[in-house]
């Protein structure tokens, strides 16, 4: 029991340190800093125009529209992957039935990790644990974060609802984000068996998020080639060139994310087949301005089917998640897999995790637009079609992952968990690999 007592002491120390750790304070939220980065690229301080000190404002209308769309999109993508990250199974590795007056194990293996099985803890049983997950985000809809590009176009100064009639309208700006985004999540999970069939649980995530953007911008100048010799381009950066670096972002923040409250009822109990229903309410307790939470409550219901064929235990979860947000779509979730007992103390868990967006597309998150630039230079028609960003336009940001993990039961009442989630598709903001480590105590 010395090992368990030592681990419990370290666990309580970690919990106390987490509770005392407050959200990092800086003058502006991460959401505001992204907006400022877009403002800076067309600011009067960054741009200069030959012969016209106010002409730099002609890039600002395009910037404002792109900024609003991008900030909303980033908020959605980040919160979907941080605020809604799975908080581990509410099922304990060891489950019992006390209907006979004595504890009788109701599971043949140590159970899944991020999915659910139908068995409940058992009346009067407690399960308490934590897991640590590291998310190193690398792509947004398949585009590397360090290669993200956004384009800003000149205002229509001729009033003909097209761009290109004026030579100045042929110039446009490319903003390169060169972004890094990482999140570390410690999730505290507690479950209590109210009856042999009914569990109540809570999950509390603590999130540390860091964001860097080493931004730079290029003026794609049409006028540099077509102006008279010696005149140079009409639009320049204040450094006198066509390329500049911007004040980027290098911030981190930490705090509690969206808490989850769970109810699970096992209404079909059998040695080979079990069926349960789960209801989960996720409260918007995280700071959405700093991407620590989704900014809106969510409600999830699930049907859970699990069985046992010897030491092989398959399971499937079918869930619907209602997200009360204008920036996030509801989801149909299908999680299926198995856990296989290897020895009395070791179980392997394998799962396919599919989160499928349903409903209408979110207004304002559409990266498929292109801007046409057309100019008649003498008798030659010069045409350009410039995408507003290199992020592709997806109809839906479905996310499909696989998960492979181990559960080890070295001592009575203690479970050690290791798991890796692998991204299968490109939907949304993704980390290609997500490692998770955890501890679980049952008593």
What is the DSSP annotation of 162-212?
A: SB-SSGGGG-EEEEE--EEEEEEEEEEEEEEESSSSEEEEEEEEEEEEEEE
User: What's the pLDDT tens digit per position in 81-98?
Assistant: 777 777 766 665 555 444
pTM: 0.84
Least confident of 13-17, 139-143, 358-362, 412-416: 13-17
Range scoring the smallest mean pLDDT among 89-98, 192-201, 204-213, 258-267: 89-98
Q: What is residue 432's DSSP assignment?
A: S
- pLDDT computed for residue 393 by the predictor: 85
How much of the chain, in percent, has pLDDT values that exceed 90?
A: 29
- Looking at the predicted structure, is the pLDDT value of residue 153 above 50? yes
Domain of 264, in residue numbers: 2-442
CATH number of the domain that residue 36 is part of: 2.40.160.40
Measure the CA–CA gap between 256 and 247, rounded to whole angstroms.
29
Tokens representing 221? 């100048």
Q: What is the pLDDT of residue 276?
A: 96
pLDDT at 185: 92
Interval 248-269: pLDDT, tens:
888 888 999 899 999 999 999 8
> Residue range 10-23: average pLDDT?
51
Highest mean pLDDT range out of 1-10, 81-90, 134-143, 368-377? 134-143
Phi, psi angle pair for 375, to nearest 5°: -140, 135
Give which of 75, 212, 260, 184 is closest to 434, Cα–Cα.
184
Residue 4 reports pLDDT greater than 70: no
Tokens of 181: 């985004």
- Considering its fold, how many domains does the chain have in total? 1
């Amino acid at each position: 029991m010395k090992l368990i007592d030592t681990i419990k002491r370290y666990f309580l120390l970690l919990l106390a340190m987490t509770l005392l750790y407050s959200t990092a304070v800086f003058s502006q939220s991460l959401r505001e800093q992204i907006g400022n980065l877009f403002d800076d690229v067309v600011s009067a301080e960054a741009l200069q125009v030959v012969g016209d000190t106010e002409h730099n404002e002609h890039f600002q209308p395009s910037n404002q529209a792109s900024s609003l769309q991008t900030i909303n999109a980033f908020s959605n993508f980040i919160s979907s992957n941080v605020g809604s990250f799975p908080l581990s199974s509410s099922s304990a590795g060891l489950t019992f039935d006390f209907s006979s007056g004595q504890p009788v194990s109701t599971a043949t293996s140590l159970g899944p990790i991020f999915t659910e099985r139908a068995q409940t803890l058992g009346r009067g049983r407690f399960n308490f644990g934590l897991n640590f997950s590291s998310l190193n985000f690398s792509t947004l809809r398949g585009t590397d974060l360090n290669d993200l590009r956004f384009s800003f176009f000149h205002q229509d100064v001729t009033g003909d609802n097209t761009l290109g009639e004026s030579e100045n309208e042929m110039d446009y700006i490319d903003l390169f984000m060169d972004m890094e985004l990482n999140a570390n999540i410690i999730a505290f999970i507690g479950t209590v068996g109210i009856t042999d069939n009914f569990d109540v649980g809570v999950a509390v995530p603590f999130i540390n998020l860091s964001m860097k953007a080493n931004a730079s911008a290029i003026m794609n100048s049409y006028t540099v080639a077509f102006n008279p010799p010696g005149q140079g381009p009409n639009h320049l950066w204040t450094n006198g060139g066509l390329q500049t670096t911007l004040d980027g972002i290098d911030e981190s923040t930490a705090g509690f994310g969206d808490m989850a409250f769970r109810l699970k009822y096992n209404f079909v109990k059998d040695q080979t087949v079990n069926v349960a229903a789960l209801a989960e309410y996720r409260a918007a307790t995280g700071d959405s301005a700093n991407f620590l939470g989704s900014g809106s409550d969510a409600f999830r219901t699930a049907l859970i089917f699990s069985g046992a064929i010897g030491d092989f235990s398959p399971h499937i979860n079918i869930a619907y998640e209602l997200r009360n947000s204008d920036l996030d779509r509801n989801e149909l979730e299908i999680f299926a897999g198995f856990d296989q007992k290897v020895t009395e103390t070791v179980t392997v868990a394998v799962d396919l995790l599919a989160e499928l967006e349903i409903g209408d597309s979110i207004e304002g998150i559409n990266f498929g637009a292109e801007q046409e630039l057309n100019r008649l230079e003498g008798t030659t028609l010069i045409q350009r079609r410039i995408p507003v960003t290199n992020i592709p336009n997806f109809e839906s940001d479905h996310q499909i992952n696989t998960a492979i993990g181990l559960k080890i039961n070295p001592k009575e009442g203690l479970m050690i968990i290791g798991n890796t989630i692998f991204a299968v598709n490109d939907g949304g903001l993704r980390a290609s690999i997500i490692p998770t480590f955890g501890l679980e105590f049952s008593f």
